[in-house]
Chains A and B, each alone.
Chain A
């Protein structure tokens, strides 16, 4: 029988090794799609290490936010850089082997985690976080800490995001002259009267055709 602590340590070193190798892959691989897939693997392995360290909330957030949302979006952007439809289909086959390798490594890591959990009943179950002496889940503790002890850093982070928005707008919004924009506020305010104008005019009297003066215009 394997010693549970030993197995956890082996898992930790395995995850750490995968993280480092994948991170090296991100900066050395010439193919940008492979690099992005490496980055996904880096994040995933980091999340596994955090799970071993019993930081469940952080691990889940990393998977959901970075792997699930940010990296997939990133992958879309990288793959869409060549917008020809047939090339995208070719790309799918071309990138499949690397994708499968990444998926297999992830599967291996997940099995390792499950193994740690199964062998060592108390490792993942007992949570060191306590609130007023009562053991609570990681998420509850984080929520409590963020709004009490770490309120100021939390608010500064919000300020940093505001700066990010302002910077993104000022660096990308262009107001060129001669471009026709849709102006929603004016569209909403428009009345039927502005669009259709009923003009009253006298009924038209048909003008009798005048007799042609010269010979040239005859037929």
Chain B
């Protein structure tokens, strides 16, 4: 029976649900000119949620609602960074939304509902909670992608995302039902025990394959990546930045819960499957990105390749590999938020700053913006001493220690191929002549400038002092 203690364990989630409902009501009774207040309130709500997550961190993993929900170190670290990157999204998105008449309260409430979905997903102790958390996250995302309903691209992206997302959910559910059939349990802890002595091992592996398809879709790993470029390009940039940051942490959390907590003993089966997904993602992401001219599409293919690196870490199937993959997911969420944040900050009414050519000669127009963009591109490419470099180093190390030397070599080769298109953006900014008449400037909004600068400088600082964060990542898996 659920009791008060269960509610206390879920305090951050319950608090966010209540806050989201209040914000929804407040928005309905608010005059449009008061809406900036809603913006600051939403950010305050998320900051309080971070405090609640950190303050209520249990020393031992605890479960609530008959094992449906687990609160442990892994979920805490994922929640903190998911909430943090959503705060960044809210800060960067405001001027963009105001310029395009998209500054509606529902953007904030739907995003907060999506974050609640992420929090439930990364804390799931049961296959049902995994599925429902995922649905909460993706349903909110579909609506957010379609937010700019007068844009054909946006509607097209939303339809594609919705149809493919529904298909992937179906695959995941099918896999889950097969796993349930083989083990007779939905609880991940029981599943872990039942998986070793089931008398239907083939059915279990059959279900596992479908679950990996679902995970691959949510991560955006090739060959389940088809939706990523269109959705990234089609949705308003303020939504792309959200889809490109916090949900990546959720996808890692989902993969960890399903594969490690649930079917960890089948690791010898799923290691090779994930390695195949990783190689395909690295190849497709890095090679197709070479020929992109649209910046958002370029970053979309770059995401696919980054999910490949994350999978390289997961292939290790041990605490070291999970820690490396978690570290990589965090580094990608923060770097992705910064990359799209700069695009948002350079856009203005009637100008999206989506094409790489829009950045021509940015160094002469706005040296600070060019410098920030250069740091972000170097971090994405994995140039030392930036954040992205140590993420890559750690996942390669994890793969080598697990006996996947070939995978690490493939990863390193594609990292060098990827360097080309990141450097192309830097070259365009620094060495090309600015186009006459095209004015590109950094957003005037002081909060955007400040937070964006801090975010990018954090990539540099975390790249130099990466020890504590990686220590935290490792402690949640080892301890």
Give A contacts to B, CB under 8 Å.
148-153, 156-157, 159-160, 162-164, 166-167, 169-171
A166 touches B106 (CB 8 A): yes
A160 touches B2 (CB 8 A): no
- In the assembly, what is the distance between CA of A86 and CA of B72, in Å? 65
B65 sits at the interface (CB 8 A) = yes
Q: Which one, B24, B136, B149, contacts A159 given CB within 8 A?
A: B136
B136 touches A156 (CB 8 A): yes
Main secondary structure of the interface of B (DSSP, over half): helix
Q: Which one, A150, A160, A167, A170, contacts B104 given CB within 8 A?
A: A170
Q: A149-B66, A171-B143, A171-B149 are in contact. Are A163 and B133 (CB under 8 A)?
A: no
Shortest CB–CB separation between residue A33 and chain B, in angstroms? 22
A160 touches B136 (CB 8 A): yes
29 interchain pairs, CB-CB under 8 A: A148-B1, A148-B2, A150-B68, A151-B2, A151-B65, A152-B10, A152-B68, A152-B69, A153-B128, A156-B129, A159-B113, A159-B136, A160-B135, A162-B21, A163-B113, A163-B136, A163-B139, A163-B143, A164-B139, A166-B24, A166-B106, A166-B109, A166-B110, A166-B143, A167-B110, A167-B142, A167-B143, A171-B146, A171-B149
- In the assembly, what is the distance between CA of A148 and CA of B67, in Å? 12
A163 touches B110 (CB 8 A): yes
Shortest CB–CB separation between residue A83 and chain B, in angstroms? 25
- Closest residue on chain B to residue A165 by CB atoms: B24
Contacts of A163 in B (CB 8 A): 110, 113, 136, 139-140, 143
- Closest residue on chain B to residue A151 by CB atoms: B2
Contacts of B64 in A (CB 8 A): 152
B116 sits at the interface (CB 8 A) = yes
Beyond the given A153-B126, A162-B113, please list 13 additional residue pairs across the A-B interface where CB-CB is below 8 A: A150-B68, A152-B65, A153-B128, A159-B136, A160-B135, A162-B21, A163-B139, A164-B139, A170-B104, A170-B110, A170-B143, A171-B146, A171-B147
Give B contacts to A, CB under 8 Å.
1-2, 10, 17, 21, 24, 64-66, 68-69, 104, 106, 109-110, 113, 116, 120, 126, 128-129, 132-133, 135-136, 139-140, 142-143, 146-147, 149
- In the assembly, what is the distance between CA of A170 and CA of B142, in Å? 12
Q: Which one, A148, A150, A164, A170, contacts B147 given CB within 8 A?
A: A170
The residue among A150, A157, A160, A169 with the most chain B CB atoms within 10 A of its own CB is A160
Contacts of A166 in B (CB 8 A): 24, 106, 109-110, 113, 143
B143 touches A153 (CB 8 A): no
Shortest CB–CB separation between residue A173 and chain B, in angstroms? 10
- In the assembly, what is the distance between CA of A14 and CA of B403, in Å? 49
- In the assembly, what is the distance between CA of A101 and CA of B437, in Å? 69
A152 touches B139 (CB 8 A): no
B68 touches A167 (CB 8 A): no
Q: Which one, B68, B106, B113, B149, contacts A153 given CB within 8 A?
A: B68
Contacts of A149 in B (CB 8 A): 66
Contacts of A169 in B (CB 8 A): 106
Shortest CB–CB separation between residue B371 and chain A, in angstroms? 38
Contacts of A151 in B (CB 8 A): 2, 65
Contacts of A171 in B (CB 8 A): 143, 146-147, 149
B65 touches A167 (CB 8 A): no
- In the assembly, what is the distance between CA of A153 and CA of B143, in Å? 22
- In the assembly, what is the distance between CA of A211 and CA of B66, in Å? 103
- In the assembly, what is the distance between CA of A148 and CA of B68, in Å? 11
Contacts of A148 in B (CB 8 A): 1-2, 66
In the complex, the 5 A-B pairs of residues with the closest C-beta atoms, listed nearest first: A167-B143, A152-B65, A170-B106, A156-B132, A152-B68
B128 touches A160 (CB 8 A): no
Q: A148-B2, A153-B128, A153-B129 are in contact. Are A159 and B116 (CB under 8 A)?
A: yes
Contacts of B146 in A (CB 8 A): 171
